[in-house]
């Protein structure tokens, strides 16, 4: 007999495996799987990587040396073959799929092995497939237990949950600011095109994992003109595709000598409403993609930017913007998660504010707090991307 503590133990292991898929699974979810034999001993484990195709369940079953898997793949198997996993248990961080995509259904692989129990951390957030995997397993006589370590599993795949329902990336608004909500000194007190660090080195280092976990990072041309950032993932960690660097530039003021342009290698896209064909050609000749969108009040329409990124399979977007875009994103209800890095200093009202002219207050609930030396990191989910019916 298994106990809730045993279920949590093995699901924690499955979550550890799933985290190995961060930055290498998108646009698929990060999933981990642990397989136990009928004696409760570890038989196999695995996680999903997009380029290796196999889902986590199949990777774990192959690691367990299960011959029934051959039947699942269409190969002939001797009639006397007995699965070593007969009566075993599978722990998986996301409900096994019951549809054919790039791979056959994982439910059929699990059924073919003869496992008697499947423990899933959460239902699939995709409304088109949610619940179908568990239903198929139960019809086959397999016991299914749900919602073990659910919160951790859902946090891991917030971007996938958002994208499957809205075809837009999950937006995390990142802001480094002072105690009085300032992001830069007053004009004239620091040199343009040279970064002014609000937070400590420890807090700045914490930004790199955020970029690593994101499919894309977004900034505005005003930030480029002020700070000349690179906006690259310098974590040194493995990722399947380069971090897409996105710049909003209504009038195509992007300097050709900026760090973003000079380091572009099919990983920079500028969204604009300008139809300056000569300027567009100059940027394109330097490896920068330019997307022209219909103007709304002379500005790049933010919802259409998110729609376009969603069409390209971007599940998660980290914003590193200035006052106007910070405010527009929040006021437009386009932010899903807020990540603030707060430095214990006060600049005063003449300094550049993080936000300006908010029509109403944005309240952060269930705030996670981290310390980075004397700086604080405050993180909160503003909009839960998981469908209410799956809770």
Higher-confidence residue of 249 and 360: namely: 249
Please return the burial class of 165, using the count of CB atoms within 10 Å of its CB with bins 0-12, 13-18 and 19+. Answer: middle
What are the residues whose beta carbons fall under 8 Å from the beta carbon of 341, sequence distance 6 or more?
174, 175, 176, 177, 198, 199, 203, 206, 207, 372, 375, 376, 377
Q: Which residue of the set 57, 95, 158, 320 is catalytic?
A: 57
pLDDT confidence of 85, banded at 50, 70, 90?
A: confident
CATH class entry, domain 4-156: alpha beta
Q: What average pLDDT does this structure show over 303-308?
A: 98
Residue 57 is among the residues annotated as catalytic for this protein: yes
Q: Annotate 193-211 with b (16+ C-beta within 10 A) or e (fewer).
A: eeeeebbbeebbebbeebb
Give the model's pLDDT for residue 206.
95
CB count within 10 Å of CB 378 equals: 15
Residue with tokens 């790049």: 300
Of 180, 151, 186, the closest CA to residue 343 belongs to 180
pLDDT confidence of 77, banded at 50, 70, 90?
A: very low
**pTM, 2 dp:** 0.92
Domain residue extents for the chain: 4-156, 162-390
pLDDT digits (tens, 9 = 90+) for 268-300: 999 999 999 999 999 999 999 999 999 888 899
Homologous superfamily of the 162-390 domain (CATH) = Dihydrofolate Reductase, subunit A (3.40.430.10)
Give the model's pLDDT for residue 1.
55
What are the residues whose beta carbons fall under 8 Å from the beta carbon of 135, sequence distance 6 or more?
98
pLDDT digits (tens, 9 = 90+) for 49-58: 999 999 999 9
Give the model's pLDDT for residue 74.
43
User: What percent of the chain clears pLDDT 90, i.e. is strictly above it?
Assistant: 82
Residue-averaged pLDDT of the chain: 92
Of 209, 199, 204, the closest CA to residue 316 belongs to 209
- Tell whether the model's pLDDT for residue 12 goes beyond 70: yes
């Amino acid at each position: 007999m298994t106990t809730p503590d045993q279920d949590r133990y093995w699901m924690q292991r499955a979550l550890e495996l799933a985290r190995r898929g961060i930055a290498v699974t998108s646009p698929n979810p990060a999933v981990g799987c642990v397989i136990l034999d009928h004696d409760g001993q570890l038989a196999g484990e695995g996680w999903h990587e997009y380029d290796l195709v196999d889902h986590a369940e199949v990777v774990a079953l192959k690691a367990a040396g299960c011959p029934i898997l051959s039947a699942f793949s269409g190969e002939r198997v001797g009639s006397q073959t007995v699965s070593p996993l007969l009566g075993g248990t599978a722990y998986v961080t996301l409900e096994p799929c019951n549809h054919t995509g790039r791979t056959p259904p994982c439910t059929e692989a699990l059924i073919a092995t003869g496992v008697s129990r499947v423990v899933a951390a959460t239902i699939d957030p995709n409304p088109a497939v949610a619940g179908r995997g568990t239903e198929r397993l139960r019809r086959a006589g397999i016991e299914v237990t749900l919602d073990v370590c659910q919160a951790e599993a859902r946090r891991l795949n917030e971007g996938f949950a958002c994208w499957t329902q809205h075809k837009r990336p999950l937006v995390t608004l990142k802001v480094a600011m002072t105690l009085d909500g300032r992001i830069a000194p007053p004009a004239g007190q620091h040199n343009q095109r040279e970064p002014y660090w609000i937070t400590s080195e420890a807090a700045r280092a914490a930004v790199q994992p955020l970029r690593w976990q994101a499919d894309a990072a977004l900034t505005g041309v005003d930030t480029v003109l002020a700070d000349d950032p690179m906006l690259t993932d310098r974590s040194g960690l493995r990722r399947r595709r380069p971090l897409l660097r996105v710049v909003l530039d209504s009038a195509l003021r992007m300097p050709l000598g900026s760090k973003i342009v000079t380091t572009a290698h099919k990983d920079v896209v500028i969204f604009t409403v300008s139809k300056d064909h000569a300027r567009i050609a100059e940027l394109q000749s330097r490896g920068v993609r330019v997307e022209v969108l219909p103007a709304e009040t002379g500005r790049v329409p933010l919802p259409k930017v998110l729609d376009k990124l969603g069409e390209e399979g971007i599940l998660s977007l980290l914003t590193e913007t200035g006052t106007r875009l910070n405010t527009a994103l929040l006021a437009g209800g386009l932010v899903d998660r807020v990540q603030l890095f707060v430095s214990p200093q006060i600049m005063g009202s003449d300094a550049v504010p993080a936000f300006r002219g908010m029509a109403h207050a944005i309240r952060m609930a269930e705030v996670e707090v981290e310390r980075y030396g004397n700086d604080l990191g405050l993180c909160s989910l503003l909009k839960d991307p998981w469908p209410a019916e799956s809770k």
